[in-house]
Each structure stands twice: as C-alpha cells, then as structure tokens.
Amino acid sequence: MINFRYVRPTTRQACVTALVSDPTAQFIAGGTNLIDLMKRGVTAPEKVVDINALTLRSIDKQGSGIRIGALALNSAVADHPMIRQQQPLLTQALNAGASAQIRNMATMGGNMLQRTRCHYFYDTALPCNKREPGSGCGALEGFNRIHAIFGTSDRDPKTACIAVHPSDMCVALVALDATVLVTGPNGERRIPFVDFHRLPGNTPERDTNLERGELILAIDVPDNAFARHTHYLKVRDRNSYAFALVSVAAALDLSNSTIRDARLAMGGVAHKPWRLLDAEKALVGKPATEATFRQAADIAMQGAKAFEHNAFKIRMAPSSIVEALKTAARPA
Ligand code: SF4
C-alpha cells in the first residue's frame, strides 16, 4: 500500500472539488472494497476523499417512491420498515449479499461502485485489461468459471473483459426501475439504474457511466405493485458470504393467477446487472404457470455465450429464473 493523503470535506461541492483536483483521488465511504484494493495494490490513490461527513444517510418517502441516501448502510436499508413492506425485493437482495458485519459498514453508493471479484483483477502479477488497460485478459483463456455469459468483450485481447458485476443489491435495483441522483463538476443529473453500469466494450477499465468527479447522492425507487410477489434467488458455492454464480430478481403483479406486470433481472452473468426486458414482456398477460416461466427463461437466455469453464451457467440460469418466478408467484 502506498502513502496517501486523507481529507474529509463537509460539503458536497468540497468533496467533488477535492476529487477532481487530483487525478488519482478516490472517494471512500464504508471502505469495504476500496481498502482491500489498496492493500493488494490493485488501486493506489494518492488522495482519499472521505465523504462520511455528508448528510446522505436518510431513507424517506419522496413523491411516488422512496429516496435512499447514498451513505445509508446496507443493513439499515434492508431493515427499514418502509423498504421491507414496500420494496421487499431490495431487502431480500441486500440480505443475500456479503456478511452481516460487511452490511453494517457498506453503503448504498459503495455497493454500486464495488469492483469485480475476477481473480485476475486482484492478482497484480497477471494481465488484466480492467486493472491495466491493454495488458490482456487473464480470464479469457484462464480459469473463467465465475465469469460472464452475456455482453462480454472477447474479440480483441487488448480490450477483452469477461468479468461480472458482483452486487446483489444492484440486481434488485435494476429490476425495480430505480434512478440514481448524482452531482459533479457540471451539477446534478439523474441516471436510470439500467444505464448506470456499463458493458466492457473497448473500455473495460470503466465500470459505470459516472464522469470523473461525480458523486452519488441518492437512489430513488419508484412505488410499484410487486410487494406481495417478489423473490431474490442467489445460487452460490456456499450458503453465505459468497458471490453469486447466478442470481435472479423476480417481481410479479398478479391478478388472480394472471400476470399483470413483471420485473426480472439476473446477477453473476454480465459486467452489469442484467435486466431481462424481453422475458418480462413475454410474462405479461399470461397465466403464472411453470410453462409460462420456462418460456420466459428461454427468451432470457437468447444470446448467452459460455467460455471454457462456465458453460454450467447456461444450464443454471434458466432453471434459476423458473425457480425464482415460481417462488415469487406463491401466495404471500
Ligand atoms: Fe481483467 Fe476483466 Fe479479464 Fe478479469 S475478465 S482479467 S477483470 S479484463
């Protein structure tokens, strides 16, 4: 770990200014990922801008939804009565992530900005286009069991990346049509959650569409009619404190047993939380039966591509979609 300067500004503007004045500076909130990355030499900011003095921890009713401050802790959001009652999919996804200790430290904004857990990204002796652009992708011809099956970049070795986004929470938020409020050198703007994270394309070093110096202020989750029928299914190697091999966020609005509306997203399969819009459309107006769910899962898997060690995900993912939808459809 290199020496670094530590600053703790007390205003949003001062945080943004402190960041843009140093090209290596990084924000820190809970630090549950950044400190690991710094210790292992994956990232080496010369200045760390602590944003914990900002008042961004509230969870409030806001218009036709709930506004969650970027510094709200994962555990506080998961346990909040309004989230549990109105957005149970978010509670389920948050509680599936990490460990209780980490959820007590990790913030909403930090969860969104956590980096991939690709083994080659963390091993500085091995090539990784995300850590060191143009160096190659160790996972492409290496041990790629945990890697992506959708939206990969694998043609040009100098830009290839087949990593997955590790968050559970973000899979629920993309399914719930959340919006992200950010501020930065050019003022405030809103980013639909589905556009917040990126596919690797030719710039795998970029995980999100945030511009340099932009700071997440809040996440807005709109009201919906799904509270009675949601399920977050996480398939992993062990039952806790492990990242998803495949996860599914499923939400249904049922009228008797007919699907009025549906939301569906997957984790562990792409460089971003993977929303399944075509599969959602295929569910609407149909009976909530296993046959309907299987049809949607088939649609969801179109375009999937496996690498040497992760073909099992192409079998696991559709079964997980069906299982998540069946559980969501059960009477509340
Ligand atoms: Fe790096 Fe992405 Fe390749 Fe992993 S998959 S080694 S993060 S470029």
**Is 317 a domain residue?**
yes
Over range 111-131, report the average pLDDT: 98
The predicted-structure confidence for 103-114, as pLDDT tens digits, reads as follows 999 999 999 999
Q: Which amino acid is at 281?
A: K
Q: Tell me, what's the pLDDT at 1?
A: 73
Q: What is the CA radius of gyration of the chain?
A: 20
* Atom 1 of ligand 1, nearest CA residue: 128
Degrees to nearest 5, angle at CA 34 with 32 and 38 = 125
Q: Residues lining ligand 1, judged by CB closer than 6 Å? A: 116, 118, 120-121, 128-130, 137-139, 161-163, 204
pLDDT average, residue stretch 73-95: 98
Mean pLDDT of 200-205: 98
Give the separation between CA 260 and CA 285, rounded to whole angstroms. Answer: 6
| Total domains, the chain | 2
For residue 292, give the CATH number of its domain. Answer: 3.30.390.50
SS (HEC) of 234-303: EECCCCCCCCCCEEEEEEEEEECCEEEEEEEEEECCCCCCEECHHHHHHHCCCECCHHHHHHHHHHHCCC
pLDDT in tens, 299-321: 999 999 999 999 999 999 999 99
pLDDT-based confidence at residue 116 (cuts at 50, 70, 90): very high
Whether 309 maps to a domain, the answer reads yes
The verdict on residue 247 lying in a domain is yes
CA of 224 to the centre of ligand 1 (A): 36
Question: 311 lies in which domain range?
Answer: 230-329
pLDDT-derived band at 83 (thresholds 50, 70, 90) equals very high
Tell me how far apart the alpha carbons of residues 123 and 40 are, in angstroms, rounded to a whole number: 8
Question: Is residue 59 one of the residues assigned to a domain?
Answer: no
Task: Render pLDDT for 222-264 as a digit per residue (tens, 0 to 9).
Answer: 999 999 999 999 999 998 899 999 999 999 999 999 999 999 9
Can you tell me the distance from the alpha carbon of 237 to that of 235, in angstroms, rounded to the nearest whole number?
A: 7
